[in-house]
């Protein structure tokens, strides 16, 4: 099943019931997945227009300009959108750690069987 | 704010109200983001145990072994989980296109201002 949202060149995000889409962020140099977050329409617009990553914080219920407090901003090289337009992929240059724990990537553990193992 | 879910080595996924976590899939060779999907507990367990990507299809409401019908399976090199354990990152070897449209990646369009541009 395909439709114009999938094959066309019109930006037409499929917002969730909460008005959000998923945002995956990868490092422009290493290709590593740095984080997964969410965007509402305002965050997506702000990201595209400013060239800096802006998300919607579900926990705080507010717009979240990445690095506004930590200084670890993310310069956006490119924003891609997936087939059904409910997820975007940001390729960025990160000024510092993406994760609030201080790790460069939020994905600093691998799953091994029933447990986790640090890869940091 | 950190807690044992973030700093520990116990697998303790933070399931959504629908019992799901987000799954990001990247190509083990190119590093490209191939797709974003969802997993319930059964899908995550099946993926880790079998080494093949298994998701939960929200549209069909059933377990979705990637490639079961298309043949485009995904061999999993590694599964990582993020700080708050509500997203996993699968590094895979893909037997074929990840996208049902036939594109290698679901992210075959970039956002340019108010429109999209094909990058396939």
Instruction: Summarize pLDDT for A57-109 with one digit per residue, the tens.
Output: 999 999 999 999 999 999 999 999 999 999 999 999 999 999 999 999 999 99
d(CA A45, CA B79): 32
User: Under an 8 A CB cutoff, do A106 and B83 touch?
Assistant: yes
Given a cut of 90, is residue B108 above it in pLDDT? yes
Give the confidence band of B64 by pLDDT, cuts at 50, 70, 90.
very high
Distances, alpha carbon B13 to alpha carbons A6, A15, B21, B100, in Å: 31, 24, 8, 28
Write the pLDDT tens digit of every residue in B93-105.
999 999 999 999 9
Residue B49 is labelled as binding a ligand: no
Residues of A within 8 A of B54 (CB-CB) are: none
Give the confidence band of A7 by pLDDT, cuts at 50, 70, 90.
confident
Residue A89, Cβ neighbours under 10 Å: how many? 26
Residue of B nearest to A5 (CA): B116
| ipTM score of complex | 0.95
Residues of B within 8 A of A6 (CB-CB) are: 101
Given a cut of 70, is residue B1 above it in pLDDT? no
For residue B33, give every residue at least 6 positions away whose Cβ sits within 8 Å of its Cβ, in sequence order, or none.
Answer: A24, A26, A33, A80, A89, B24, B25, B26, B105, B107
Distance from CA of B110 to the nearest CA of A (A): 4
Q: In this complex, is the C-beta atom of B119 within 8 Å of any C-beta atom belonging to chain A? A: yes
The mean per-residue pLDDT over the stretch A36-48 comes to 98
Give the confidence band of A2 by pLDDT, cuts at 50, 70, 90.
low
Q: In this complex, is the C-beta atom of B97 within 8 Å of any C-beta atom belonging to chain A? A: no
Given a cut of 70, is residue A28 above it in pLDDT? yes
Residue of A nearest to B98 (CA): A83
Helix H, strand E, coil C: the string for chain B is CCCHHHHCCECCCCCCCCCCEEEEEEECCCCCEEEEEEECHHHHHHHHHHCECEEEECCCCEEEECCCCCCCCEEEEEEEECCCCCEEEEEEEECCCCCCCCCCCCCCEEEECCEEEECC
Helix (H) or strand (E) holding A16: none
User: Under an 8 A CB cutoff, do A113 and B79 touch?
Assistant: no
Backbone CA torsion sign across A98, A102, A106, A108: positive
Residue A84 is labelled as binding a ligand: yes
pLDDT at res. A1: 47
User: Under an 8 A CB cutoff, do A11 and B88 touch?
Assistant: no
Residues of B within 8 A of A102 (CB-CB) are: none
pLDDT at res. B41: 98
- The domain defined by B13-118 folds into Ubiquitin-like (UB roll) (3.10.20)
Each domain of chain A, given as residue ranges in start order, spans: 13-118
Disruptive mutation site among B111, B116, B118, B120 for chain A (greatest number of A CBs within 10 Å): B111
Mean pLDDT of chain B: 96
Residue B83 is labelled as binding a ligand: yes
Q: In this complex, is the C-beta atom of A120 within 8 Å of any C-beta atom belonging to chain B? A: no
Given a cut of 70, is residue B36 above it in pLDDT? yes
């Amino acid at each position: 099943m395909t439709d114009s949202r999938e094959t066309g060149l019109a930006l037409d995000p499929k917002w969730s019931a909460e008005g959000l889409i998923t945002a995956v962020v990868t490092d422009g140099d290493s290709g590593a997945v740095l984080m997964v977050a969410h965007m509402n329409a305002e965050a997506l617009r702000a990201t595209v227009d400013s060239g800096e990553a802006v998300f919607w914080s579900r926990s705080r219920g507010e717009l979240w300009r990445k690095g506004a407090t930590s200084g670890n901003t993310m310069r956006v090289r490119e924003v891609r959108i997936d087939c059904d337009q409910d997820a975007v992929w940001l390729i960025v240059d990160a000024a510092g750690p993406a994760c609030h724990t201080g790790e460069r990537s939020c994905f600093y553990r691998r799953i091994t069987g029933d447990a986790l193992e640090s890869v940091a």
